[in-house]
Amino acid sequence: MARYAFYPGCSLDTTAVEYGMSTHAVARKLGIEFLEVPDWNCCGASSAHMTDHLLALALPARVLALAETLPVNELVAPCAACHQRFAGVEYELSRDEELKKKVNSLLDRPYTGKVKVKSFLEVFANPETLDKIQKSVKRSLKGLKVACYYGCLFVKPPKVFNYADDPENPQAMDNIIRALGAEPVPWPYKTECCGASLAMTDEEICTKLCNDILRVAKDAGADCVVTCCPVCQQNLDMRQVSVENKYGTKYRMPVPFFTQLIGLALGIDAQALGFKKLFVSPVKMLQKVGAA
């Protein structure tokens, strides 16, 4: 059985509660074991790395050190921003012994680097699990057109990741969507930025970037934009109403997490996958695959 240290991050129980619900439901079906890192703290996200480099290393390093107490070799974080912070710590501290000592002087439990950071998408997109998913499909998503939106931080910058998909045209989510019977549409905005925390600090820019993404997805004929990042998801889903108001459009584009689509195809009830938590109604999309 595949087993990983699991870092939910601050959003999986709050703003991205459906990401957490669907992740755990799907993991149970596929026999993937996620062991939550005990007493984990926030990774600091962009606020830490904008403010203080050492702080931005030490906060995730505490989590990685705690993960070393678990019987695992790898850690996964479903949030792209958290994932990139962990990968950054691994990248920098494995190349700079002095810096590692400095960071460890800030921690109660030292970080050794024993537990490696793995991409959450790869938990599902590796050939073995992909095959298992394909064989476990109970409700094919045939006919559903999906714009796979990776955002930035699962693939950029590729140098910090142990395994990185093509940062300009990633494939992991496309392969997952194909295994479910759905059709990933070709579109050029897979890794264009949603604006991230500019939603709070400079909303107009974020609204413009989200409008570009939604418009291009719509033009590509997508029934939904599927995401793997809580920040992207919130900007594209909850704030879609602001985009529509500002640009006089009506996208009504559902923005589920990729784990919700896996769950649907595995025959899990839409309610248990948190589809009701989405702001833009997914009813049409669910009807299309006979799940509503």
Partner 1 sequence: MGEFNLSQALKANRSFVDKVIEESGQDIRQCYQCAKCSGGCPGAYAMDYPPSQIMRMLALGMKDKVLKSRTIWVCMGCNTCTTRCIRNIDIARVMDTLRQEAVKAGYTEKGRTVIAFNDAFLGTVKSYGRLFEAGLLIKFNLSTGNLMKDAQFGLPMLLKGKAKPFPHKIKGRSEVKKIFEKTKQMEGN
**Are 17 and 274 a contacting pair, CB within 8 Å?**
yes
Site string for partner 1, 114-153 (x = CB under 8 A): --------------------------------------xx
Straight-line distance from the first to the last Cα atom of the chain, in angstroms, rounded to the nearest whole number = 32
- Residues within window 79-108 making contact with partner 1, judged by CB under 8 A: 84, 102, 105-108
Single residue of 25, 27, 32, 58 touching partner 1 by CB under 8 A:
58
- Per CB under 8 A, 181 contacts partner 1: no
Spatial strand order in the sheet of 74-76: 32-36, 2-6, 74-76, 116-118
Neighbours of 105 (CB within 10 A): 9
- Per CB under 8 A, 272 contacts partner 1: no
As a residue count, the chain comes to 292
Residue with Cβ nearer partner 1 (74 or 192): 192
| Region near partner 1 per CB under 8 A, out of 33-41, 118-126, 248-256, 260-268 | 33-41
Token output for 153: 């931080």
| Region near partner 1 per CB under 8 A, out of 27-35, 174-182, 214-222, 271-279 | 271-279
- The whole-angstrom separation of Cα 90 and Cα 92 is 6
**Are 217 and 227 a contacting pair, CB within 8 Å?**
no
Single residue of 36, 114, 205, 269 touching partner 1 by CB under 8 A:
205
| Region near partner 1 per CB under 8 A, out of 128-136, 172-180, 199-207, 221-229 | 199-207
Bridge partners of 184, per DSSP, are: 146
Token output for 65: 């050190």
**Are 225 and 255 a contacting pair, CB within 8 Å?**
yes
- The whole-angstrom separation of Cα 232 and Cα 73 is 29
Residue with Cβ nearer partner 1 (18 or 183): 18
Smallest distance, partner 1 to C-beta of residue 35, A: 17
Q: Which residues bind partner 1 (CB under 8 A)?
A: 10, 13-17, 39-42, 44-55, 58-59, 62, 84, 102, 105-108, 152-153, 155-158, 167-168, 191-193, 195-198, 200-202, 204-205, 209, 238, 276-277, 279
